[in-house]
Structures are given as structure tokens and as C-alpha cells.
Amino acid sequence: MSRGPGRIQRGIESAIDADPDNAFTTEDLCELVYPGVEAEKKHCVAVLRAMRGVAERRGLALWRSERVGGTLILLNPLNVVSYAMARLKGDFAYHYRYKFIPGGGWKEAQLRSLLAPGGRNHKDIIPGGAWHIQVEVERARRSGDGAGVQQLADEPNRSIEKQLKVLRG
């Protein structure tokens, strides 16, 4: 019988509480949970196991990144900025913290700048943006609102149909 969250799970939860608008890769959490230690496989396995427990207990999501090795990303699917950070960290094009690229790939601050006003992906997180709609769909799905889920899921199609009408004249 469990006696509650262990040290690693508590460390992960405190990281989430400190920065709820973020998504965390396995590497991010290894660094936070084991400060000053170069993470070995045993550390990563312990963090992965704890990530699964935290995700289940808090209703968070775990995604696998697109890059080689497919690191896990822990995110809050009901928070649009957390969702966006997970999309960016998991996208193979940005190589977030990828140690096999000179310079180590993109850093978190660079990804956040993409979400800032004027950034390449800012349009996706504002109301009506693609990622904002995905978060709203998940909220409706979790609340049991089947009609709301379908209506939100059809939103991009209606937008495309409007644009086609304008183009056709």
C-alpha cells in the first residue's frame, strides 16, 4: 500500500505548481529532481515512473516527442500555454535540448518567444487559434459535453469553408 507521493513525485509536482504554464520533458524533470547530478538511465527511469503517477493523479497528459528516442512530455491539456509548450518541445523541427546538435538545439526561452505576441505561434494560442481550439475540445470532452466537443472540433472546417467561399466569390 502506498504512503503517498514519493520524493520524485513531490519534486515533479512542485515544478508543475511553480510553472503551470509549462510542459516538462523527462530531461527537464531529471534536472529539477536531481540537481547537480548528470542523469543516468536509472534516474530517467525513476522520473518516467513518477511522471506517470503524477499524470494519473492530477489529470495531466503524457505525450511522446517526435524526435529520435521519443522523450516523454508532461503537460496540462487544459492550459493552452502548457499545451503549446508541449507541442513545441515535442516537435522534431525545434530539437529542444537535443544533445547531438551543436549548441544543443532550441532552448526554452527561444520556444517561449515563439508564443509571445508577434511570435510565429502566437496566433495558435489566442482564442480561435488551432491550439486554443484543441484545449477547448479537451475541456468539453472532460466535462462530458459531447455536443460541445463536436461543435468545437468542426470549428476549423467552418473557417476553411468561409475562406473558400470568399475565394470562389
Prediction pTM value: 0.83
Which of 83, 101, 120 corresponds to the end of one domain? 120
Residues of the chain with pLDDT under 50: 1
Residue 104 lies in a domain: yes
Residue 2 lies in a domain: no
The pLDDT tens digits for 28-72 are 999 999 999 998 999 999 999 999 999 999 999 999 988 777 889
Do 27 and 51 lie in one domain? The reply is yes
Do 12 and 59 lie in one domain? The reply is yes
Domain tally, the chain: 2
Range of the domain at 33: 7-120
CA dist 40 and 51 (Å) reads 17
For residue 1, what pLDDT is reported? 47
CA dist 29 and 39 (Å) reads 10
